[in-house]
């Protein structure tokens, strides 16, 4: 996670240094990178030394903020809220992609979640900073104020993709109004469903008990699945977990477009979301194959490779090819690689087209509340 912070006064710089020194550290295996800036000529002599953690901002604030929207996951303003609002206003676009923005006054009395509270993680960052600093956390998102389940925040924390932001808003509105929201998944569930969510088989009864449903009797619910083969509700909000491994083999020099074309075709034919892909896997002979490297990069997932010996060691039934074994030392690449990368269950066997082979494995996972 990359965090950028900025201050404007001497007292603000002292608070920023405390945040940097005590709070923004590596936690739970996540590396936190911080870049601190200051704006103001009076601070230049104090904060421009070689060992300073600060970089002076000489350009206009809106220009600085534009760059931070591109390279940072979160932005911390130590100063007036108005400064932050004016700086970020031209760049605010979409809650799914905007960085978290929080504001602290220079005395550290208040810590405000200003933008991207749930998906961006501003609310969590405010909670993380406020307690040790003794700040009053200011969080205004309705679900948090009412201590209700926040579907967008849950999706982010559990590395799931939201299928439809309109339905996500409907879910929040229904929970705030006290109307039932359905829930369904084929994955094992650990813990109790959050208040307001109802298992799908009980939803009809709950709807009948609600004489005036603002959805006009239309069922609304959350379905956690990589598949869109069936919608369990009239308005189904899919939360798409990253639980599919694409095992891919290809001829040397295969165009990247052919790899993408086959992968998308296979997933589409089986009603599986491309967003559910968690990684791409192959044999180590293909570790530098441009088509595979670029395809994984485009998806934003890791590309893992395994030796022929590792792939051969897998137990199970795989589609065998004498030609593939002669060239690579193992009788099958795509199926074995898909299973090897995470130990999932093979759900789509080898499919070949235009020099590319692809298979899909489903990772074991559970849903936790």
Closest CA to 100 of 82, 88, 109, 86: 88
Both 84 and 34 in one domain: the answer is yes
Q: Tell whether 146 is covered by a domain.
A: no
Q: Using CA of residue 40, residue 44, residue 45, residue 49, what is the dihedral sign?
A: positive
Distance CA 128, CA 137 (A): 10
**Which residue range forms the structural domain that includes residue 230?**
151-241
Please give the tally of structural domains in the chain. 3
Residue 347: its pLDDT value, please?
97
Angle between helices 290-299 and 256-269 (to 10 degrees): 50
Q: Tell whether 278 is covered by a domain.
A: yes
Q: Tell whether 228 is covered by a domain.
A: yes
Q: Tell whether 296 is covered by a domain.
A: yes
Residue 32 has pLDDT above 90, yes or no: no
Lowest mean pLDDT among 7-11, 259-263, 267-271: 7-11
Q: Which residue, of 90, 115, 140, is where some domain finishes?
A: 140
pLDDT over 90 for what percent of the chain?
Answer: 67
Q: Tell whether 71 is covered by a domain.
A: yes
Q: Which residue, of 140, 167, 189, is where some domain finishes?
A: 140
Both 359 and 251 in one domain: the answer is yes
Both 226 and 118 in one domain: the answer is no
Q: Tell whether 115 is covered by a domain.
A: yes
Secondary structure, 3-state, the chain:
CEEEEEECCHHHHHHHHHHHHHHCCCECCECCEEEEEECCHHHHHHHCCCCCCEEECCCCHHHHHHHHHHHCCEEEEECCHHHHHHHHHHHCCCCCCCCEEEEECCCCCEEEEEECCCCCCHHHHHHHHHHHHCCEEECCCHHHHCCCCCHHHHHHHCCEEECCHHHHHHHHHHHHHCCCEEEEECCCEECCCCCCEEEHHHHHHHHHHCCCCCCCCCCEEEEECCECCCCCCCEEEEEEECCEEEEEEECCCCCHHHHHHHHHHHHHHCCECHHHEEEEEEEHHHCCCHHHHHHHHHHCCCEEEECHHHHHCCCCCCCCCHHHHHHHCCCCCHHHHHHHCCCCEEEEEEEEECCEEEEEEECCCCEEC
Both 262 and 362 in one domain: the answer is yes
Q: Are 246 and 263 in contact (CB under 8 A)?
A: yes
Both 302 and 220 in one domain: the answer is no
Distance CA 314, CA 345 (A): 12
Q: Tell whether 217 is covered by a domain.
A: yes
Residue 114 sits in a domain of what CATH number? Answer: 3.40.50.11220
Residue 24: its pLDDT value, please?
59
User: For 147-199, what is each residue's pLDDT tens digit?
Assistant: 889 999 999 889 999 999 999 999 999 999 988 899 999 999 999 999 999 88
The values of phi and psi at residue 2, to 5°, are -110, 125
Residue 34: its pLDDT value, please?
82
Q: Which residue, of 140, 172, 207, is where some domain finishes?
A: 140
Q: Tell whether 145 is covered by a domain.
A: no
Q: How confident is the model at residue 211 (pLDDT cuts 50, 70, 90)?
A: very low
User: For 253-262, what is each residue's pLDDT tens digit?
Assistant: 999 999 999 9
Mean pLDDT score of the chain: 89
Both 328 and 315 in one domain: the answer is yes
Both 311 and 233 in one domain: the answer is no
Both 204 and 261 in one domain: the answer is no
Both 7 and 48 in one domain: the answer is yes
Both 248 and 229 in one domain: the answer is no
Both 285 and 352 in one domain: the answer is yes
Overall pTM surpassing 0.85 (yes/no): no
Distance CA 356, CA 332 (A): 13
Distance CA 137, CA 135 (A): 6
Residue 211 sits in a domain of what CATH number? Answer: 3.40.1390.40
User: For 59-71, what is each residue's pLDDT tens digit?
Assistant: 999 999 999 999 9
User: For 127-140, what is each residue's pLDDT tens digit?
Assistant: 988 988 999 999 99
Distance CA 212, CA 169 (A): 19
Both 212 and 292 in one domain: the answer is no
Lowest mean pLDDT among 46-50, 66-70, 280-284, 340-344: 46-50
């Amino acid at each position: 996670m990359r965090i950028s912070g900025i201050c404007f006064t001497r007292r603000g710089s002292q608070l920023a240094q405390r945040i940097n020194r005590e709070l923004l550290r590596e936690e739970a295996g996540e590396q936190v990178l911080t870049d601190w800036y200051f704006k103001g000529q009076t601070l230049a002599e104090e904060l421009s030394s070689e060992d300073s953690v600060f970089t002076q901002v000489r350009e206009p604030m809106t220009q600085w903020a534009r760059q931070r929207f591109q390279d940072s996951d979160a932005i911390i303003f130590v100063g007036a809220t108005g400064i932050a609002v004016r700086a970020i206003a031209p760049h605010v676009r979409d809650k799914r992609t905007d960085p978290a923005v929080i504001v602290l006054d220079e005395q550290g009395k208040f810590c405000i979640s200003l933008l991207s509270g749930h998906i961006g993680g501003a609310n969590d960052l405010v909670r993380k900073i406020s307690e040790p600093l003794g700040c009053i956390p200011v969080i205004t998102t309705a679900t948090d104020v009412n201590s209700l389940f926040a579907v967008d925040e849950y999706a982010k924390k559990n590395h799931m993709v939201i299928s439809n932001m309109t339905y996500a808003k409907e879910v929040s509105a229904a929970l705030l109004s006290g109307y039932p929201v359905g829930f369904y998944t084929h994955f094992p569930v650990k813990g109790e469903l959050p208040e307001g969510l109802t298992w799908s088989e009980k939803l009809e009864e709950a709807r009948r008990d609600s004489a005036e449903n603002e959805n006009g009797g239309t069922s609304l619910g959350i379905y956690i699945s990589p598949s869109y083969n069936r919608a369990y509700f009239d308005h189904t909000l899919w939360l798409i977990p990253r639980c599919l491994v694409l095992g891919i083999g290809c001829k040397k020099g295969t165009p990247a477009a052919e790899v993408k074309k086959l992968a998308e075709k296979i997933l589409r034919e089986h009603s599986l979301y491309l967003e559910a892909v968690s990684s791409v896997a192959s044999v180590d002979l293909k570790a530098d194959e441009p088509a595979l490297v670029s395809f994984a990069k485009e998806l934003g997932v890791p590309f893992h490779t395994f030796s022929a010996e590792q792939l051969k060691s897998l137990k199970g039934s795989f589609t065998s090819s004498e030609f593939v074994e002669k060239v690579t030392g193992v009788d099958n690449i795509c199926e074995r690689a898909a299973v090897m990368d995470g130990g999932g269950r093979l759900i789509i066997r080898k499919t070949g087209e235009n020099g590319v082979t692809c298979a899909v494995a489903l990772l074991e996972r559970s849903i936790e509340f």
